Amino acid sequence: MSAMNTLQAWLRQAAAERSLRPIDTELPSTLHKLEAEENPLCWLLCCLVSHQYGRGHSCLRIEELQHTPDFVLGFALPDDLKLWLEPKAIAAALQQSDWVQCMEKNTESVEKPLVYAAGRLYLARLWKAEQGVAEAIQTRIQMPIANDSEPPLAELLKRVFAESNDSSIDWQALACAMAAQRKFAIITGGPGTGKTTTVVRLLAILRQKYGDNLRILLAAPTGKAAARLTESISGAINRLPETMQKGIPTEVTTLHKMLGARPFRRSFKHSGENPLPADVVVVDEASMVDLEMMAALMNALPANTQLILLGDKDQLASVEAGSVLGDLCKGAEEGRYSTNTLAMLQPYTPHSLAAFGGSASYASESHASEGEEAPSMYNQATVMLRESHRFGADSGIGNLARAVNAGDIQRLRGGSESLFAAFADIELLSPSAKESGQANDFAALRKLVVQGYRAYLGQITESDTEMVARDQWAREVLTAHRSFQLLVALRKGPWGVQGLNDVVADWLESAGLITRAPGRTKSWYAGRPVMVQRNNYTLNLMNGDIGITLRDPETGKLRVVFEQADGRIKWVLPSRLSDVETVYALTVHKSQGSEFAHTVLVMPDEINPVLTRELVYTGITRASKRFTLVAAKPAVFAQAVQQRVIRSSGL
């Protein structure tokens, strides 16, 4: 059998076993029709780079593929194909292929579907996006900002941080000092560390520096995240000195809306030819922003516009390819500040910052677009907030999140020495020996869920006949719904979204909290919570928006209510909502940008590549007051905490 026949046979098998997606196996055939390529190794590499893109990687690292192919790909590559991965053979195949553009310099124009650069193979679209992001950030970091305005920056910082004490480094103040002197800045930190408070104080400082004509745009990746930021900003503005509150915007939009997304098109209204009308752009929940969306944002910014990213670097990466915030924030804990950056920040704190200086290899601030020097430049524009005002030393949620981030398995296990035994706001539930281990037979989980969702379902049954103000009632129900949420890691299986949504609906119906039409488990009914799965520009509803089905007190008809980013209530006919999903159980990915008083994270009974430290951390930090871990098998939880998300990129 020829090498090409061997490959074709394996591609059919991989597609049948779902190791590869149909688009992965078809891509080389499609390219072959456009530009003939007879080397089966090029076909294989083309399939694999597409496969990696589908798994969230922006590129395929060739050296890692050669050394640990099964680990890199997430499945076992046949031994005979592994023999093809000889360094000289790969180098020759890529250099000779008409599909591949081998980059000598980043300034070359890209005319081929694949790009090979610095040992990484890219789909050309991803290469362009990555280069666009890197170059835009590096250009902005190097762009000087005059610090000679009146009043001086030190005086403005004192005004907005009047309550600050000098017992420790005030990282919020340093974040403002950094961002006020950079055209690009990242403010990262865990939940409750004050990212929103910090950026509002920064905006107050910038308005004092540049005047009332400063154009500021605020955005977040999802409607839910935008609504939360709107609420948080309003509260933070009220805590500013009265003389500095004027002119700070509170309206937050989604990134798609800000950029001018157009239905069925990849491009946006705002681009290099039609840039955003803004002097300052703030993007919250930046960990959710994928590589191509970040590239679109960078492309739409005027050359002089200041960009500030807010986010938690330890959260899950974006659903689509890339881990932009995580890549940019590498080394944020250590600081890794150059001599120049330390000199820029030191005047704004009485405490020495020497411990946060970088080694000699990180001292350069010269332009660096490849290799290990590139992250050093990103460090010079990043400040990590370290003190959580929401989760202090006495918070079980905070201690649990920190233990997960540290991979401290001993403190995460059940038993008398675990965190679950030490704090009242966190608990661990596992099936008893008498129970089957299936969700529908888990009595403690059933009791917890029925009690949790009674908060909003009870609000419906108690209030819908009282004819209170229509929108006020809907808002109260939506607020009550945010008091409890069941989170899951997987979509499929008995412990996934599909299985648990059906089980929970049965539990709630048995408890008399909902009533479904006989034989129609997916029918519309009062109390059904749904999440929008795709942007609907006609209705102004975005992917991730959550609504509750209510019976309209004026008409008696079912309607789905959503709270808009500006606080208004939207009533929508169920028949107009085609791309929605019931969300008694919600994936952790979809929960990003949301917060619930009590969050229950359900872990499946088998380890899965999706189960990672970042997923567990994100699930825990969706809770503001109480967190429950449901572990069918506690060992799976421990394994998940030891499994990290590592996405390949060149940032």
Q: Please state, in angstroms and rounded to a whole number, the distance separating the CA atoms of residues 245 and 149.
A: 20
Q: Is 443 helix (H, G, I), strand (E, B) or coil?
A: helix
* Averaged pLDDT, 446-452: 92
Q: Where are the alpha helices (DSSP H) in 247-360?
A: 255-259, 291-300, 324-328, 339-345
* Averaged pLDDT, 10-33: 90
Answer whether the bond into residue 151 is a cis peptide, omega within 30°: yes
pLDDT confidence of 518, banded at 50, 70, 90?
A: confident
pLDDT digits (tens, 9 = 90+) for 359-373: 544 434 433 444 444
pLDDT of residue 368: 40
Q: pTM higher than 0.75, yes or no?
A: yes
CB 456 within 8 A of CB 584: no
pLDDT digits (tens, 9 = 90+) for 55-65: 999 999 999 99
- Written as six digits, the tokens of 578 are 């085609």
Strand ordering across the sheet containing 382-385:
253-254, 216-220, 280-283, 306-311, 184-189, 382-385
pLDDT of residue 537: 77
CA distances from 327 to 194, 286, 322 (A): 22, 12, 9
Is 250 a known ligand-binding residue? no
For residues 417 and 145, the model is more confident at: 145
Count CB-CB contacts under 10 A for residue 239. 12
CA distances from 424 to 370, 420, 455 (A): 48, 8, 21
pLDDT of residue 409: 84
Phi/psi at 484 (5° precision): -155, 140
Mean pLDDT score across all residues of the chain: 86
pLDDT confidence of 107, banded at 50, 70, 90?
A: low
Q: Please state, in angstroms and rounded to a whole number, the distance separating the CA atoms of residues 68 and 75.
A: 11
**CATH numbers and ranges of domains, the chain:** 3-118 (1.10.10.1020), 139-145+169-359+374-385 (3.40.50.300), 396-527+575-642 (3.40.50.300)
Is 458 a known ligand-binding residue? no
Is 190 a known ligand-binding residue? yes
pLDDT of residue 509: 92
Is 650 a known ligand-binding residue? no
Is 194 a known ligand-binding residue? yes
Q: Please state, in angstroms and rounded to a whole number, the distance separating the CA atoms of residues 399 and 117.
A: 42
pLDDT confidence of 216, banded at 50, 70, 90?
A: very high
pLDDT digits (tens, 9 = 90+) for 574-587: 999 988 999 999 99
Looking at the predicted structure, is the pLDDT value of residue 177 above 70? yes
Cα end-to-end distance, the chain, whole Å: 41
The strand ranges marked E within 227-332 are 253-254, 280-283, 306-311
pLDDT digits (tens, 9 = 90+) for 624-634: 999 999 887 77
Q: Poorest-confidence range of 326-340, 425-439, 536-550?
A: 425-439
Is 479 a known ligand-binding residue? no
Q: Please state, in angstroms and rounded to a whole number, the distance separating the CA atoms of residues 533 and 542.
A: 8
Looking at the predicted structure, is the pLDDT value of residue 528 above 90? yes
